[in-house]
Amino acid sequence: MAHSRPAVERWFSLSGLVPLPVFLVLHLSRELTLAFASDVSDLIRPSPGIGSTLTAALLVSAPLALHASIGVWLLISGRSLLKPAGDDVPALALRVSRWTSVAALLFIIYHAREYPVAVWLAEADARDAGLRLVGRLSSTSFGVPLLGGAYLLGLAATLAHSGLGVHRALLREGWLSTAARRHTSARLCAGASALLFALGAAAVIRVASGVLLH
């Protein structure tokens, strides 16, 4: 039963079940809208208020920090969480989840340092985040948009880990008690991850092309 599991396991599951997927949906939707803006002035964003900043910190940053901390501890210690009943997730999918967790964490840390943390440290203006993102993704090294390619890889890793993580969390919470539910959940999580990656990739590719700078 879910209530008999170790508290750390429940924290790990619940802290990864909602914040990251919801954040990715909202964030990618906004970025896709900005990527297809008709004028560069549309990239200027309003300064976030105290309410939105606190909401993001409590509902996104804090749960993700908890999830990442437990995940890093599990990777370093070599420990694994208890396998829930009915867990028929293939071994390859579990390995992919672990591999992508590292890439996703590095991607999120980089993105956070470049944008919200830079604003908190007074190194940048929150209103210029869209402009800075366009400048970075459209930059090239030896004629190749390396940062744009790295963003695509980071996005793919984050979405893959998120999709697998949601499915595993639902299993751990006992909400997928039948094989039919487990198969449906696996398909929906995989499909949602693929769809979000397609939308995010479209935004990254358009931004990296430098169209908005012309």
The predicted structure's pLDDT at residue 210: 67
For the whole model, what pTM was predicted? 0.84
Contact (CB, 8 A) for 164 and 96: yes
pLDDT in tens, 78-115: 777 766 656 678 888 888 998 999 999 999 999 889 98
Q: What is the residue-averaged pLDDT of the chain?
A: 84
Q: Are 154 and 103 in contact (CB under 8 A)?
A: yes
Q: Which residue ranges make up each domain of the chain?
A: 2-213
Write the CB contacts of 67 (distance below 8 Å, at least 6 apart in sequence).
Answer: 12, 15, 16, 19, 20
Tokens of 87: 């867990």
* 187 has a pLDDT exceeding 90: yes
Report H helices in 18-128: 19-35, 50-56, 62-77, 91-114, 116-120
pLDDT digits (tens, 9 = 90+) for 16-33: 887 777 778 877 877 777
The model's confidence at residue 177, banded by pLDDT at 50, 70 and 90, is confident
Structure token digits, residue 6: 């170790």
CATH class of 2-213: mainly alpha
Given pLDDT bands bounded at 50, 70 and 90, which one contains residue 44?
confident
Q: Cα–Cα distance between 125 and 115 in angstroms, integer?
A: 9
